[in-house]
Amino acid sequence: MFHINHVRRTVLSVTLGAIVVAGSALSGALLTHAQPVDDCRTFPETGHKVCGKFLTYWDSHGGLAQQGFPISETFTENSPLDGKPYTVQYFERAVFELHPENQPPYDVLLSQLGTFVAKQKYTQGFPATGGVPFYEDRLDPATFIESFYNAINRKEYDRAYSYFQPGAADVPTYTDFVAGYADTASVMIYTGKIEVNAGAGNLYANVPTVLVATHTDGSVHTYAACYILHRTNAGIDPNPDAVLWKLMKGTATEDTANTPVATLLAEPCGP
């Protein structure tokens, strides 16, 4: 049976696995471990040093708590916003840019990561009044699942239904698919370790997923789900959409035992 409609209480997810810095592992480290050398300070926690104006900015703008440890040395990078080269240094929670054309204290600025990510991820911009922004990325199995539920959340059922593999067994009718989300309020999704297998010019992905769904009556239910995706290998089909993942099969089982999410994600997921 194709049990996608068992996951009907869905409105979207924010993928929790997106950009999580290992702050918890480092939060107990002491700044006294960093040894100053000339105008630089080396951080043995990550093996990188911070120097000059970047070090001054780090010290005067929250230090470890706000910026995190350095995760790179300084280097030159073209800004994705204006295309110009800047000296930058990456930290766990920020990217510093050197702007010698500006007078202090504006000669060190934070890279506009929010602007960059917003343009990259939410290609249609943000809604004016707190709705869910459009998101679609079907080139990766995890972002495919996020895109699928983004469409459901926005009640773009035509878009969500178009993600199904044409001709796949047990795909619900469009009418049943839409009806399955009648009591949907919201959902948060978690994806686990994805297994991708190849065969005869095709790729297949097993995506373990946990759905924490809120119903329109306010009740919250957790489901352990498994999605099987398919796409064609690049270069085989001239149709550019052939390399986009399609949903072949999905199953979901409600968890009534308050099982930890990590345990549910570790359950077997396969055809």
Question: Tens of pLDDT along 195-225?
Answer: 999 988 999 999 999 999 889 999 999 999 9
Give the pLDDT of residue 120: 78
Give the single-character DSSP code of 105: T
- Which residue spans of the chain are classified as CATH 3.10.450.50? 4-18+135-265
Contacts of 129 (CB under 8 A, 6+ apart): none
Give the pLDDT of residue 207: 97
Token pair 């209480």 is found at: 9
The model carries a pTM of 0.67
Class of domain 4-18+135-265: alpha beta
Give the pLDDT of residue 140: 95
Tens of pLDDT, residue by residue over 227-242, are 999 999 988 888 888 8
Give the pLDDT of residue 236: 82
Contacts of 28 (CB under 8 A, 6+ apart): none
Give the pLDDT of residue 38: 61
Spatial distance between the Cα atoms of 261 and 263, rounded to a whole number of angstroms: 5
List average pLDDT for each run of 10 residues in the chain, which is 271 residues long. Answer: 39 28 30 54 96 96 95 92 91 95 93 83 81 91 96 92 92 93 87 94 96 91 96 86 93 94 95 78
Q: Which two tokens stand for residue 209?
A: 């997923």
Amino acid at 89: Q
In terms of C-beta density within 10 A (0-12 exposed, 13-18 middle, 19 or more buried), how is residue 79 classed? middle
Short-list 253, 258, 197, CA closest to 230: 197
Q: Which two tokens stand for residue 81?
A: 């916003």
Give the pLDDT of residue 36: 45
Q: Is 76 helix (H, G, I), strand (E, B) or coil?
A: strand
**In the chain, count of helices (H) and strands (E)?**
8, 12
Spatial distance between the Cα atoms of 67 and 88, rounded to a whole number of angstroms: 14
Give the pLDDT of residue 57: 96
Phi/psi region, residue 99 (left: phi>0; alpha: psi -120 to 50; beta: rest), is beta
Task: Report CA-CA distances (Å) from 28 to 50, 59, 68.
Answer: 20, 18, 12
